[in-house]
Structure 1
Amino acid sequence: MNRKSTHLRADMESEPQVDPQRWYALALILLPTLLISLNNYMMQVALPLMQTSLHASFSEAQLIFSGYSLGLAVALIVGGKLGDMYGRKRLLTLGVLGFTVMSLLGGIVSQPVILIVIRIVQGLSAAMIQPQVLSMLQINFLPREKGLVFAIYGAVIGVGFTLGLILGGFLIDWDLFGLDWRIVFLFNVPFGVLVLLFLPIIPESYGKVRAKLDWVGTILLTLGLLLLIIPITLGQKQGWPLWTWGCLMISILILLAFLAVQLRKMKGQNEGLIDLSIFKANSFGIGIVTVIVIYLSMFSFFFILNYYVQSGLHYDVRAASLVFLPLGVGYFLTSLLSSRLVQKWGNVVLKTGALLMGISSLLLMGSMYLDAGHLFIPQNIILLSVYGLGLGMATTPLSNIVLSIVPAIEAGTGSGLFTTCMYVSNSLGVACIGILFSSSLGQIQSLANLEDYTRAFSISIAVSGVLAFIAYVCIRHLPESYK
């Protein structure tokens, strides 16, 4: 036997054992991810019609939309930890079941307050799903397969983003079976049932089975995130009343207390909610900072573009959703190709993606400023496509890079932390860019003209571009060990 075949055999023997049905399971566990992504964007399209149909107040409509994100963000880390303790397949089953039941109820009820509760529980259910999906991708596949697996995962999110806005608009416009906005909820039900029927083929995996849940840490973290996200989500629309600032200050104190509890438990070699030792690895700590910055840039870009085309350019829902089509197509393509690109060029791919996001943002700002009111022109469509290409290159490989450093027994907790940072960045990015946009507008929205909106859009989109350049700097500090 020659040396090459000897090394090959040794490598094969050293690889961890994996389930032979893992590729079938991949298609199944990615379906809930697609549903979660579709649900969020379809609900965004349906909200105005839902508010009118239910005779809901503006604040009730806002809570119907944001209640989902609220429930999701506060429970992601706990959901990941529970998956490590009690089995990821078990938590995934509970999450899909809860999400499906809440979707069915959401398509039946007609009271705004009940819908708010349903959306919060739906978010909590999604918090049981997402960490399990990410941790299963990390532990159920061979190291040489993970790049492709996370590329497929990113492409699925790209499909959800692209189709969510467009499909939501068309489904509501078609008014299938006279269901009106209810189709957005009921659309999830058959897919949820399908996943539940085929879940047995997914292999079960555990982390620290005998670990006890850190109840003090869980309460502190949940309360701290709740008091952080509620004012960030609702404050800008309500003019930042005094209670929002009080909640923010209290949330910071509670989250600091949570960190103190976790550090004390780590020093005493006790099991905490989060094993802070994972931050000792440079790739995880720097990766989390990169996640926060790049998603701040992305979500602020999405929000301000959607706001500008609907409020400033007065596009209807269908036309506004089509604005995101070239962006979504670009994101899907580079997400799908990201594994091969990173394998060949390493983190040059991520750096290039962040630069493309930043440059296309600034060029779009200049294009709209010079030719206000004309978004659907060739150069702007190209710029939106380039932004999408950069987004897929920068964000999709980042999941694998950051999570690959987390031990398998803590995969759920690490995944929960990763996705929590994403959703907090979502709320924070929308709130901050909303404040900047409103102040740049110079006057109340009802009196603002196209020139005012274009000026505010240009300033806001420039900030989003600067955040992308900051993400580029963060990516430069990521180690090349994943290449």
Structure 2
Amino acid sequence: MTDHLTGTVAAAATRAAYALRWPALFVILAAEVMDLLDALITSIAGPTIVRDLGGGETLIQWLAAGYTIAMASGLLIGGRLGDIYGRRRMFLLGMAGFTLMSLACALAQSPEMLVGFRILQGLVGAVMLPQGLGLIKEMFPPEEIAAAFGAFGPIMGLSAVGGPILAGFLVDADLFGWAWRTIFAINIPIGLAAIAAGLKVLPPSRQDRSLHVDLTSAMVASAAMALLIYPLIQGRELGWPAWCFVMEAAGLAMFGLFAVIERRRDRAGLPTLVTPTLFGKRAFTGGLLTGMALFGSLMGMSIVFTLFVQYGLGYSPFRAGLAGIAQAVGMVIGFVAAQPLNQKLGRTLMQGGLVLTLAGYAAFVLTLSLAGDGVRIWAMSPSLVVMGLGLGLTMAPFFDLVLAGVDDKESGSASGALTSVQQLGGAFGIAVLGTVFFHVLDGSSAGTRVGAFRDAASVSMWVGAGLVVVAFALTYLLPLRAREDAALGH
């Protein structure tokens, strides 16, 4: 009788969750928008922040990379916290922390304070973000999962369009004398609204207090990320001392140590940071590697483009935001066009998108070469549209392909690991392409300021294109179609 009553209550809870699944999805999307905006807008406001607070060129890189490294580190734990304490609870706590740290960033009085608050913002964001993917898999029936993930495309695309424009407008408008500070303050009303709505529409989720957080592995992984990224950003400014290369080697060694610790804990029956069975699934491991290269190229290209148009062409923050519209519009079109093709083409669609993205990179560099010092945004726009279209087609099937074969009990760990690698890839791209940009700029023999920045942007874009080629090769580790993979249980 008790079992029957429990089953009846569970079924009723499931039906209630399904009934509210679409309003709940918009709350989850609000969190994704806040994260995306914070990843994009600091590059637009970076030059203004440097002029106000100081900190030099590397501050622009640290504003983005500090946030993404912290998030990548925290996401490994964030996903498991959702498994233990319930995804709804962790989502709302993370949203509250993210909103509070946004306020702290807006009030920062020095470069060190701002970077420190950005790191804390990334950590609490890491509690919030992985819960969304897990909640979606809990709320939506299998036949609607693709449509739910497909909703990320247009929303993220619109954020990519509106975010930099909004950031540029707010910085130039200097509302209340806050200038760049308003780009963080804008998160506060969004966060409060999302918390209020989430309390009403997010369903209660399963808790498993028998699980534990593997803090040892988390600390090792975090140290590995910091050791890998820190010298990439600071090395050029310091003249590449020997300790930079020692740190790089130590970072790689720490990743190896992380894998050893996880295997040993699993054999001993101890909790692990990432569910070991995930690494036996080719779609998941292939997705981690592909995401690292793809998001590294995307985030690295974004900061290079912003540096070029603001420092090289002398655009204001608002005009720099407008300059990115062509790419963002292309991305939205790509997302929308991909939806009816996603299930049918799967991996082929993603590969076609990567080829278009690569073509966009090459066309951008060719445009800079042909236009010379007189290059204007209208001349760059066609290549940016192609680049964005390719990225939209690429990312639309990405999460569906990678997560299709993940079991429900693995979803929290899988979401955390996948999003963590996405963030780590972004930090890696920002560090590498940003460093290449400033290195080429320092050594450029061009006779004009625009020419020097044009050289730096061109070489950096070729490096970004190389990451796209790597991502294309890695897609062969993914299944042909998501549903096939799910059906086979791989």
1:434 & 1:29 partners in 2: Cα distance? 31
Contact 2:231/2:247 (CA < 8 Å) preserved in 1?
Answer: yes
The residue identity in structure 1 corresponding to 2:40 is Y
- Residues 376-391 of structure 1: matches in 2 within 5 Å? 376=376, 380-391=380-391
1:256 & 1:192 partners in 2: Cα distance? 38
Map Cα deviations across residues 54-90 of structure 1 (whole Å, 9 max, x no partner): 4556666764554322321221111111111111111
Q: Report what 1:3 is aligned to.
A: none
The residue identity in structure 2 corresponding to 1:323 is A
TM-score in terms of structure 2 length: 0.87
Contact 1:80/1:132 (CA < 8 Å) preserved in 2?
Answer: yes
Contact 1:232/1:427 (CA < 8 Å) preserved in 2?
Answer: no
Contact 2:68/2:424 (CA < 8 Å) preserved in 1?
Answer: no
- In the TM superposition, what is the alpha-carbon distance from 1:41 to its structure 2 partner? 2.3
Q: Report what 1:122 is aligned to.
A: 121
1:438 & 1:55 partners in 2: Cα distance? 17
The residue identity in structure 2 corresponding to 1:279 is F
- Residues 53-68 of structure 1: matches in 2 within 5 Å? 53-54=52-53, 63-68=62-67
Gaps of 5+ in 2: 1-10, 484-490
Deviates more, 1:414-423 or 1:333-342: 333-342
Q: Note closer, same or farther for the CA distance 1:198–1:439 as it changes in structure 2 (3 Å cut).
A: closer
Q: Note closer, same or farther for the CA distance 1:81–1:237 as it changes in structure 2 (3 Å cut).
A: farther
2:465 & 2:32 partners in 1: Cα distance? 28
Contact 1:152/1:335 (CA < 8 Å) preserved in 2?
Answer: no
2:108 & 2:79 partners in 1: Cα distance? 31
Q: Note closer, same or farther for the CA distance 1:478–1:60 as it changes in structure 2 (3 Å cut).
A: closer
- In the TM superposition, what is the alpha-carbon distance from 1:109 to its structure 2 partner? 4.5
Q: Note closer, same or farther for the CA distance 1:46–1:311 as it changes in structure 2 (3 Å cut).
A: closer
1:79 aligns with 2:81: no
- In the TM superposition, what is the alpha-carbon distance from 1:278 to its structure 2 partner? 0.9
1:56 & 1:345 partners in 2: Cα distance? 47
Q: Report what 2:272 is aligned to.
A: 272
Q: Note closer, same or farther for the CA distance 1:93–1:280 as it changes in structure 2 (3 Å cut).
A: same
Contact 2:130/2:412 (CA < 8 Å) preserved in 1?
Answer: yes
1:75 & 1:182 partners in 2: Cα distance? 25
Number of residue equivalences:
469
2:294 & 2:58 partners in 1: Cα distance? 29
- In the TM superposition, what is the alpha-carbon distance from 1:441 to its structure 2 partner? 4.7
Q: Report what 2:174 is aligned to.
A: 175
- In the TM superposition, what is the alpha-carbon distance from 1:375 to its structure 2 partner? 4.1
1:355 & 1:54 partners in 2: Cα distance? 41
Q: Note closer, same or farther for the CA distance 1:299–1:178 as it changes in structure 2 (3 Å cut).
A: closer
Q: Report what 2:217 is aligned to.
A: 217
Q: Report what 1:292 is aligned to.
A: 292
Deviates more, 1:57-66 or 1:470-479: 57-66
The residue identity in structure 1 corresponding to 2:106 is G
Contact 1:96/1:129 (CA < 8 Å) preserved in 2?
Answer: yes
Q: Note closer, same or farther for the CA distance 1:56–1:457 as it changes in structure 2 (3 Å cut).
A: closer
- Residues 23-172 of structure 1: matches in 2 within 5 Å? 23-54=22-53, 63-172=62-171
Contact 2:64/2:427 (CA < 8 Å) preserved in 1?
Answer: no
- In the TM superposition, what is the alpha-carbon distance from 1:447 to its structure 2 partner? 7.1
The residue identity in structure 2 corresponding to 1:149 is A
Contact 1:236/1:434 (CA < 8 Å) preserved in 2?
Answer: no
2:61 & 2:481 partners in 1: Cα distance? 44
Q: Note closer, same or farther for the CA distance 1:356–1:230 as it changes in structure 2 (3 Å cut).
A: same
- In the TM superposition, what is the alpha-carbon distance from 1:308 to its structure 2 partner? 2.6
2:128 & 2:445 partners in 1: Cα distance? 39
TM-score in terms of structure 1 length: 0.89
Give the 3-state SS of the residue equivalent to 2:204 in structure 1. coil
Contact 1:207/1:410 (CA < 8 Å) preserved in 2?
Answer: no
Determine what percentage of the aligned residue pairs are the same residue: 28
The residue identity in structure 2 corresponding to 1:40 is A
The residue identity in structure 1 corresponding to 2:320 is A
Give the 3-state SS of the residue equivalent to 2:274 in structure 1. coil
1:188 & 1:157 partners in 2: Cα distance? 16
Contact 1:360/1:386 (CA < 8 Å) preserved in 2?
Answer: yes
Contact 2:168/2:321 (CA < 8 Å) preserved in 1?
Answer: yes
Map Cα deviations across residues 392-411 of structure 1 (whole Å, 9 max, x no partner): 11023201211222221221
The residue identity in structure 1 corresponding to 2:280 is K
